[in-house]
Amino acid sequence: MFNLTSLLSYMDALRSSTADLIRASQTVADDGSRDYWLNLIPTLSEDHLIRLRDILLNEKHMLEQIESEYQKELAKANREQLIAWEEFNKVSA
């Protein structure tokens, strides 16, 4: 049976979660773009909201992966530099 209250609640939650993702997005960085997308949310259909949310979630996931890989590479470079520094100090002593 069709429940209008549940549908409206679902759409409100979908709009709210999409707005949160827009606010947190690194690619929608300037205020003008962010405001544009936030103002557009109420006019989007469920399908378009889901697509936009999926794009933003994918972006977030990809950026988290990039950051994780960067942190691993940075830790590796730091270890290598520490080893080189320790070797330098052994030779200097």
Closest CA relative to residue 57, chosen from 45, 69, 46, 49 = 49
Q: Domain boundaries in the chain? A: 4-92
**pLDDT of 11-33, one tens digit each?**
999 999 999 999 999 888 788 99
What is the C-alpha to C-alpha distance for residues 83 and 34, in angstroms, rounded to an integer?
A: 45
Q: Is the pLDDT of residue 82 over 90?
A: yes
What's the confidence (pLDDT) of residue 42?
A: 94
Question: CA-to-CA distance for 41 and 60, rounded, in angstroms?
Answer: 19
> pTM score, two decimals?
0.76
How confident is the model over 44-71, as a mean pLDDT?
96
- 43-57 average pLDDT score: 95
pLDDT, average across residues 72-91: 93
Per-chain mean pLDDT for the chain: 92
